[in-house]
Amino acid sequence: MSSSGQPTSTLSPAEPGSGRAGQAKPALYIISGPSGSGKSTITARLAAAGKAVFSVSYTTRKCHHSEREGIDYRFVSEPRFKQLQSNGELLESALVHGNWYGTSRADINDFLAKGKNVMLEIDVKGAEQVRTCGLPCTSIFILPPSPEELLARLAGRQREEDEQIRMRLANARQEVQAIADFEFFIINRDIDQAVQDIAGIIDNRDRSHNLANQQELIEKWQQWARK
């Protein structure tokens, strides 16, 4: 799910969504992580570099002043969202922080039919739905270096009240417990490096960030989540 901030990419531009030349079939790339992980900035940079196209989600939440309809999100009423659900028009949908979010099934099918990789910035519940939909997908979970850094990032969001920050932290604890369901785990210490790390996964070059190689760090986060 998108954010309005789109810093300049450090990667070389390419044909949108084409990935690396000679790459096999187009696929879905699930990008998940709690609020404050940096996933929105990362997906924006990857899209700007042409590594994958970005699927614009539907949401029932209010539009922030810096967001653009149809670019950051498709803002709809809850009755309209429920209609999309009942019509089977959403590949996945989930209630997150009190608002509904969902991915257009038609958009995904169209992108894949055109040979493009697609990024989905979705929560862990949505990720679970996509993994069982029958489409080829790779799942990536992003976290800051530490729980303390996560709290600092959330506290630095001037647009949110203390109660919203507490709710996001509580949700983060639940989301971290789902790390084992993902194929890859990225620690976002430096935004440029995190972008390069995921670009390597998309290009089928770098498999070093799979869960098996990072069990100690994952366990530290899961201990925090269980508190």
pTM, two decimals, is: 0.82
d(CA 135, CA 195): 24
138-160 mean pLDDT: 87
Q: Which residue has the higher pLDDT, 153 or 156?
A: 153
Q: Which two tokens stand for residue 174?
A: 């639940």
CA dihedral 144, 55, 9, 205 (to 10 degrees): 80
- Do 170 and 147 meet the contact criterion of CB atoms below 8 Å apart? no
Residue 64: pLDDT band with limits 50, 70, 90: confident
74-103 mean pLDDT: 95
- What pLDDT digit, counting tens, does each position of 97-141 carry? 889 999 999 999 999 999 999 999 999 999 999 999 888 899 999
**What is the 3-state secondary structure of 63-107?**
CCCCCCECCCEEECCHHHHHHHHHCCCEEEEEEECCEEEEEEHHH
Mean pLDDT over the full length of the chain: 86
pLDDT for residue 10 is more than 50? no
DSSP character for 223? H
Nearest to 39 by CA among 213, 191, 183: 191
pLDDT for residue 84 is more than 90? yes
Bridge partner list, 100: 95
pLDDT for residue 19 is more than 50? no
Domains, the chain, ranges and CATH?
Answer: 28-55+116-226 (3.40.50.300)
Q: Can you tell me whether residue 147 is helix, strand or coil?
A: helix
pLDDT for residue 214 is more than 70? yes
DSSP character for 23? -
pLDDT for residue 17 is more than 70? no
Residue 12: pLDDT band with limits 50, 70, 90: very low
User: Any idea what the Cα angle at residue 13 is, between residues 184 and 51, rounded to 5°?
Assistant: 25
